[in-house]
Chain A
Amino acid sequence: MAEYNTMELMIVVAARNLENGKTVGVGTGAPCAAAMLAQKTHAPDLVIMFEAGGISPQLPTMPISVGDSRTFYRAVMASGMCEIMETCQRGMVDYTFLGGAQIDMYGNLNSTVIGDWKKPKVRFPGSGGANDFASFCWRVMVITPQDARRFVEKVSFITSPGYLDGPGAREKAGLPANTGPHKVITNMAVMGYDEKTRRMRVESIHQGFAFEEVQKNCGFPLLKAEKIVTTPAPTADELRILRTEVDPKRYIIGR
């Protein structure tokens, strides 16, 4: 069996969740690596979009910024923020990857403050384009380490909407119908969301971990899918492409 590190595993698993011929709004880092890996494996016609305006680039290297010149290198269009976000709002963007300092059982994300908004303990960047992507894209995925300080009962601040407070809440608030959180990919497991309760549930667990460990590193009770499977390990091909073509300088996989 091939050796791999946690970041490599998360990127490979994320890449497998992207389908050929679909569109994905990505940021820098692991999500971008996952989209690039998907393109070079099973999804050559995956369209990558960056919030600052890049559409379907042939990324020569890993971008540093979602607005740097790599994000529209050999792209089909160098557009702007309204073009990208309105394409999402129109319903043409299938996936997005988001992150945050905190996530709760409904997939709500916090990237704004820890503590009281008026007198924050810690101030973070804020929404950026995350709330926009989380509101508009059909399916939202998150790549994050499994850690009870991140997976919290209640986020300090809902920056970007998950299922808010449960079934029907997104639609009731006015967000586009049938959108929302899809998968959470961590170093221990892949979580999805229960259709009835909209709560996070464990669907597959990576080799070497047990449900109890995943639960121990999560600040709220996790539901279980009917059948929890073992995440298939990265293949030698996936690892080779990730290491030699996607991130040869190990910017992301070396973290």
Chain B
Amino acid sequence: MFEVVAQGQGPLFMDPDADKAREFFRQKARALKGKVMSVKEAVGKYVHDGDYLGIGGFGANRIPTAVCHEIVRQKRKNLIFAGHTSTHDFQILSAGEVFNRCDIAYIIGLEARGLSPNARRYMESGKVEGCEWTNYGMALRFKAAAMGVSFLPGRNMMGTDTFKYSAAKVVKCPFTGKLFCLYPALWPDVAAIHVHEADIYGNCRLRGISIADLELARASKRLIITCERLVHNDAIRNDPTQTVIPYYLADAVCEVPYGSYPGNMPYEYFSDEEHLRLWMQSEEDSEKFKKFLDQYVYWTKDFNEYLDLCGGLHRINELRAQEHLIQNKNDKE
């Protein structure tokens, strides 16, 4: 037995029992069948009130924006959110007030862009119950779940208030007697991840950094994939080295070109800093923000309508040039 020497007082929102998770995964479908559907259908089918939700990417980089919008549009309630490396995704979900519990590693901020006024108001309102973690701590929780074990050790968080308000435990190592922080496994009910390419079954490829998405994909009980483009299964089979998420993890595959907008999509388009600034500015006044949300989220039917409102392909072309460091299309490089 491990000797527990310290214990965080924060709430553990999800059961870390590996056998219960195995029972779920025993039932999960493995059939090779087409899973292509609209984002509306995917969210309707796989995101339920009260679910624990994880969002892939890094805040405003390779995020499934369309799924975040749709969760708000369909007015999901009482979700538990994995506030891990979350920035613009957190901003969208806070705007809809769709969650009332949150595992907190990084929230509210948009990195160098500043703090989201509305997300901050929401977190200061007392409407959300929180539990503190760190970005790596949350990645470890997903990794433990992906491995099918109930915890993993780390050497972080110890001695701090972050630990005190977490649900982690510090134990004595049975081999060395040194102290380690144990992170309970986290199996989200549902996660959404945006990738470059997927086939109709959900075999996925992505380019660039993976952040914690490979762990998150394997930890989640249900998985919604949005992709820049669908590719034929032959493309996957001709080069299986590139597959990072196998099809049996995915429940839905939605083709959403430019689906990380206004976030960055590596090798495709850069983030739209002007539009992200518009979000921040609109949030300063709650009446103004309500109108903004109506216009851009509630009254848009789908992601394509949102893109059109933001300048459509014209704007995307500019962001493509930015991503590829093309400053002047007529200049010699």
Contact = CB atoms under 8 A, between A and B. Distances in A.
Interface of A: 27-29, 51-54, 60-61, 64-69, 71-72, 78-82, 85, 89, 108, 112, 117, 119-120, 122-132, 135-136, 157-161, 164, 169-170, 172-176
14 contacts: A65-B58, A65-B111, A67-B85, A68-B60, A69-B61, A80-B210, A112-B161, A128-B105, A128-B135, A161-B159, A164-B159, A164-B160, A173-B159, A174-B170
Closest 8 CB pairs of A and B: A174-B179, A173-B159, A67-B58, A53-B209, A128-B106, A125-B109, A85-B136, A135-B156
Among A124, A132, A158: residue with most chain B CB under 10 A: A132
Interface of B: 57-62, 83, 85, 87, 104-109, 111-113, 115, 120, 123-124, 126, 132-137, 139-140, 143, 154-162, 165, 170, 178-181, 207-215, 264, 266-267, 270-271, 273, 323, 325
Nearest to B132: A126
Given A52-B58, A119-B126, A158 B108 contact: no
Given A52-B61, A158-B160, 9 more contacts: A53-B209, A60-B325, A67-B59, A81-B85, A89-B156, A119-B126, A128-B135, A129-B134, A131-B162
A67 B162 contact: no
Contacts of B207: 78
A53 B211 contact: yes
Contact of A175 (B60, B155, B266, B273): B155
A35 to B, nearest CB: 15
A159 to B, nearest CB: 5
A117 B131 CA distance: 10
A18 B161 CA distance: 30
Contact of B162 (A82, A123, A127, A136): A127
Given A112-B161, A174-B170, A175-B158, A126 B107 contact: yes
A119 B273 CA distance: 32
Contacts of A158: 159-162
A69 B154 contact: no
Among B62, B136, B139: residue with most chain A CB under 10 A: B136
Nearest to B57: A67
A53 B214 CA distance: 12
A229 B170 CA distance: 43
Contact of B165 (A64, A79, A117): A117
Contact of B113 (A64, A72, A80): A64
A51 B170 CA distance: 24
Contacts of B161: 112, 117, 157-159
A124 B109 contact: yes
Contact of A65 (B61, B154, B165): B61
